[in-house]
Each structure stands twice: as structure tokens, then as C-alpha cells.
Amino acid sequence: MSGPLKAAWGLVAFVVVVGAVLWIATGQAVFAVFIVLGVLTGIGAWLTGRSVSAAPTRRKEQKP
């Protein structure tokens, strides 16, 4: 897992937890937007992680 992908998962966790805590603490449903944005970020991170190849391949240089 790459560094940016780890950061994306950290962002997902942070946004969802903050949204849930603020929604519970204030009782205002507007903080559900945080949860929705966190889920969308998670979906994007998951799709991005699936599209990355397992190991980069290099072509061997051919000598003339």
C-alpha cells in the first residue's frame, strides 16, 4: 500500500469519525455530509488501490 493511499484511508477514518461525533453532539443532521464525503473518499481510495499494479515491471534494454 502506497503512502498516498494510506493517507486517503486516514482521511476517510478522520472525516467519518468527526462527522459522527459532531452529529451526535449537536443533533444537527447537516454533519451527515461528513459521513457521506468520507464514504465517497473511501470508495475512491479503494478503486485507486485496485488499479495500482502489484509490482512495477521494467523492460530489459537490448544491446545492439
Within a domain: residue 64? no
- Domain contains 8: yes
Using CA atoms, how far apart are residues 33 and 56, in angstroms rounded to an integer?
Answer: 38
Q: Is residue 42 part of a domain?
A: yes
Number of domains in the chain: 1
User: pTM of this prediction?
Assistant: 0.66
Residue 13 covered by a domain: yes
* Domain assignment of residue 35, yes or no: yes
Per-position pLDDT tens, the chain of length 64? 678 778 878 888 998 999 999 999 998 989 999 899 889 888 887 887 766 555 566 676 766 6
The 8-class DSSP code of residue 64 comes to -
Residue 58 lies in a domain: no
* Structural domain containing residue 15: 3-51
φ, ψ of residue 5 in degrees (nearest 5) = -70, -40
